[in-house]
Structure 1
Amino acid sequence: MNKKLEIIINFKTSVPFYEQIVNQIKASILNRELDDGELLPSVRTLAKELEISILTVQKAFESLRQEGIIESVVGKGNYVKYDYIHKIEDEDIQSFESRIESIVREAKKRNLSENELINLVRLFYCD
Structure 2
Amino acid sequence: ELSELTTQITALRQQNAKLQESQKGSADALAKKGTELSELTTQITALRQQNAKLQESQKGSADALAKKGTELSELTTQITALRQQNAKLQESQKGSADALAKKGTELSELTTQITALRQQNAKLQESQKGSADALAKK
- Which bracket does the TM-score occupy, shorter chain normalised? under 0.3
More strand by share: 1
Give the helix-richer structure, 1 or 2.
Answer: 2
Give the TM-score, by structure 1 length.
0.27
Largest Rg, 1 or 2:
2
Q: Which has the higher contact order (CA 8 A, sep 6+)?
A: 1
